[in-house]
Every structure is written in structure tokens, then in C-alpha cells.
Amino acid sequence: MDGLSIEVLREIFLYLKDDYSTGDLFSALMVNRRWCKIIVPILWEAPFNKQNYNKHQSKCIRTYLSNAGEKLTSVLTIHDVDLSSCSKGTIFDYASYLRHLPLLELFQYIKYYFLSPSMLADPLKQPDDDSYFKNMLVFAVLCILFTKHSTYIRTLRIVNDPDLHPLNIVVAKLLNLSGATDSLSGLQYFQCHSLSKEDISPLYKEMAGICKSIIRLDINSVIRSDEEALSSLIKAQKNLKYLTIKSDEINFIPALESIGSQSSSLIRLRLESLFLDIATDEALNSIKSCKNLRSLILRNCYELESPRVLEISTSFPLLEEFYYGGCFEMPEEFISGILKTANNNLRRLTLKDYTPGVITAIITYCKNIQELYLLELDEDDILSIFRNCTQLKHFTFNGGESVKADDLFGKMANCIPKTLEYLCIFMDLKEHWVFSSEALKDFLDIATGHSFKYLTVNHRDFIDDEEEINSSLPDYATMTTFSKEHLEVIKESKINFHTHCGYMLIEYPDFITEINIPDLRETPLFRRWYHILGQSWTERLIDS
């Protein structure tokens, strides 16, 4: 591999990068100096993305402080911040490699790094009176370090937290730091999640002047003072592709009106907690103008069947993914309009409720659907989907309670889509499907003759009496769906299998809460499915 260029080697090493482990990259950087110089920047692009805060993970703070230089660290030593474990300088300029800056995670890493041994031994012990001030001082120093040294911060995530309150004071000044114009001018992903009703408009205004290349923008709270500044930030972008707007108030309207400025580039739109019937005609027309939209997510959005809003459902002929959920109402006409308009282009569909009319729309218009997530289905619905959705690859549904499934498994086997790879069935923990190992074997014999590889059965408990459940744990959580005979059939079929009782039961380490055949969490392809189990396909798209 000595003859390969740096660019080619970097692409190879990126394949070794894993969200769950960096062990392979650490091994590779020890091979020689050339590999080390290529791999170190990869390892230090996103050191704060893992949320498993602990003393070991937080040691990157020591490295950054060693990298900060005497001018910055002198501010800390004046205020008695303990830097005794830090060295004077580093071989690499680690701060220059930073590409992803989640501010809350950064602050949590700082907290854990400076925790005393007594605090680690007793998490309930109160910290020193000045520890918060010192942590905030280190936070400010590292923000200065990153904005000065990193030439290309791609991700900035701000999630409000009591530790970072008030948000506008802690963060809004970030863009005024020396070097921020250069380091943040190429920002591609910005997330702001404010849990309190505070004014973040100064931050949006500053960003509108500096950050014009944002591709993904997630705004999880809009208050009255923010609405015009947020609208300016959206309009300032040159190529916005992914947009999330969530608001529990009526202040979302200017942001929706600004969507029209991105109509040619926007491919994913996620709207949450909005009463769309109060939107202006300009706002609704802006949404309808996004003809290139590939993904539409509507969560807790209301009044979709009011005449003005209903027109949106016929606006997206190129739509490949649609998600609807979180509401008590089921806007059948709106959803049917979405499915009819998208027609054969639709590939992924998640509905947290449905009506017979929606099922009819799915089997009539969604002939090329590949990933489908639905709530409780009866036998006829399951078989109709199997017969009509012949390109289906991944199918997740709630299987209902106390279903006698021997006959159903046989019927499913006779019409299973040849493309089906992954089947996930949610069942009641105590009133699960009842089926013989022979029926399961007959189904798997036919299914594995095509493309079928993964079977997941997750249990849920719908009993309301929590006191009764808690008093009999862990025995109450014992799974009875699969016997030894069932598991032997699954092993012989060579598929990958996962089932879970629905309870974590961390306090009972010896209790079996899940069964994996083989250990699917070690299977690279399934690890992704295991990670997003229970999430919508939309979340998988957003995470990628």
C-alpha cells in the first residue's frame, strides 16, 4: 500500500471508522508515521459525538488544553483551574481537525474530566461552589481554541440545558470570536434546540451574515422574538436541503414563508407540533412550491384536512419517503393524496395510525414501496400488503394480541414478496402470537428461498397497572413466545434473529431480556438495525 496516494489511503481508512468502536483505526495508525498522519485527523474530527460520558472518554479535554497554548491556558491558571496533568504543547494540532462541535456534549466532557475521585465515587455528592465557573471558563477557552484553529467546522449543535443557561449569552457570542468567520463560514449542519423561552435571535442574525452554506437546519423551538431572524437565516442559505421546524406556538409562520426561497434545493422537510390551518396563504404556498421534495415528515401536525392545507397533499410527485404520526386524528384524505401523488416513487412509509382507506391507497398506489412501518394490522391487511407490495424489503408492524398464527404463517409464506429481507413484528408480551415450531419452519423454508435474512420480534406491554407489574418483576417480563423448538428451527434456517421482552431490567443482570441468533449486535449490517429499532425509517435517513 506504499504506492497509494494520501487521498486513496484516507478513503480506505474512512471505511474503518465506526460509530461503535475506533479500535481498528487505532491499530492502523501504529503501522507507520505516514498512516498515523492520515488517521489522526480522522479520529479527531468528532471526539464529542459519543454521549457515553466517563473519565476515560473525557481525556480528550486534556489533549485540547495541552494544544491551547500558554496565552489561553494562563487565563485558566489565574483562576486556579488544575492543569497539572496537561503537557506543554502537542505533536499534532488536534483542534485544527475538529469538524463537529456539539456544545452540550463538549460541556459534559469538561465536567467529567474535572470531576474529583470523590465525586466519581459518589455521584450524589455536591460539587465545589466554584466548579461551575471553572468549567464554563474552560468551555470558553476551548471554543476560542476551536474557532481559531479549525478551518472547517461542518456541524454546530446547540441543545439548551441548565448547565448552559442562558443559551443566548453562552452561545450567541460564539460567532464574535476571533476566527469564527473562517471556521464557521462553511458550516453545513446547524441544530438549535432551546428548551426555554429565551431570545436566540442574535445568534440567528449573526449566522445569517456568516453561514450561507448550511445544508441541514434543525430548529426545535421557535418563539416570537426569533421568528424574523430565523426567517432571515433560512433565506440566506445557498443550497438548503434538509429543514426541520418545530414550534408549540404560532411563531412558525415567517419560517414557513421563507421556505419558498429554498424550493429548488429542499429535499427533506420535517414539521412538528404545528397547527397548519392558521398558516398564511404565503406559508402554505411556500410548502407547495417544494416540488423536488423527496422526504416529508409530519409529526403532531394538525388540521391537515382543512381545505387550504389539503392542497399540500397533491404537491410532491417525487416524494420517496413519508412519515405521519403523533396525532389522535387520522387525515385519510390528506394521506391518500400524498400516496396517490407520489405513486410509484414512494419507497419508505411510516404511519402511526391508519384507516381502511389508507390501506387501500397503499396497495393501490405504492407498488414500489420498499420499507413500511405500520401499527396494528389484521390478517387481511398483512396479506394484502404481501400480495400487492411486491418490491417490499423491510416490513415492520404491530401484530396485535392473541393471534392464532399457524394458518397466518402459511398464508404469508404463499404470498411473501421475493424481495423481503427484514420482518419486524411487535407483539404483546403476555398475549402474543401463538404458533407452532412447524408453522414457523414452513414459513422460513419458503422465505429463505428468496431474500429473507432478518426476523425481529419485539414485545410491548399494554397493561396499565404499573404497580402490579413492578411488584412481580423480573418474572413478569419472561418471554414465552418462543420455545426451544422454535429457536432450533430459527438456528437451522440460518437467518439472523432478535427478540426482546420490552423491559431493560438493568438491575437484574442475569435475567434474559433478549435473544439473538447469532449475536446480531456483532453483525455489521444488523448493528445499524439494532441501533434504530423502534425508530421510524425517517430517523434513519436523518441520522445518515
H/E segment holding residue 457: strand 454-460
Alpha-carbon torsion (212, 218, 223, 224), positive or negative: positive
C-alpha distances out from residue 425 to 354, 394, 421, Å? 17, 11, 13
- C-alpha 332/C-alpha 510 separation (Å) is 47
pTM metric for this prediction: 0.85
Quote the DSSP letter at residue 460: E
**Cell 500500500 belongs to residue:** 1
One-letter-per-residue 3-state SS of 149-200: HCCCCCEEEEECCHHHCCHHHHHHHHHHCCCHHHHCCCCCEEEEECCCCCCC
Q: How many CB atoms are closer than 10 A to CB 12?
A: 12
Supply the pLDDT for residue 220.
83
- Residues with Cβ within 8 Å of 514's Cβ and at least 6 positions away in sequence, in order, are 498, 499, 500, 501
Q: Which long-range contacts (CB under 8 A, 24 or more apart) does 439-443 make?
A: 439/405, 439/406, 439/407, 439/409, 439/410, 440/409, 440/486, 440/489, 440/490, 441/489, 441/492, 441/493, 442/409, 442/410, 442/413, 443/409, 443/410, 443/412, 443/413, 443/416
For residue 395, which amino acid is it? F
Secondary structure (3-state) at 299 = strand
Residue with cell 384507516: 355
**What pLDDT is attached to residue 526?**
45
H-state helical runs in 226-378: 227-235, 253-258, 281-288, 307-310, 332-342, 356-365
Per-residue pLDDT of the chain (544 residues), as tens digits, is 677 888 888 888 887 776 455 677 888 888 888 889 988 998 899 888 765 555 567 789 999 999 988 888 898 999 888 888 888 888 899 999 999 999 888 888 888 888 766 655 555 555 666 788 888 889 888 988 998 888 889 999 887 666 666 554 556 566 666 667 788 889 999 998 865 666 778 788 888 988 999 999 999 877 666 788 899 999 999 999 999 998 877 778 999 999 999 999 999 999 999 999 999 999 999 999 999 999 999 999 989 999 999 999 999 999 999 999 887 778 999 999 999 999 999 999 999 888 889 999 999 999 999 999 998 788 999 999 999 999 999 999 988 777 889 999 999 999 999 999 999 999 888 888 999 999 999 999 999 999 999 999 998 875 555 555 555 677 777 888 999 999 999 999 999 999 988 887 777 777 778 888 986 444 444 444 443 333 333 333 333 3
Query: 95 vs 66, 210, 234, 420, CA distance in Å?
Result: 10, 21, 29, 46
Q: Which helix (H) or strand (E) holds 373?
A: strand 371-374
Compute the distance between CA of residue 96 and CA of residue 40 in angstroms, rounded to an integer: 11
Q: Residue 250 has what pLDDT?
A: 74
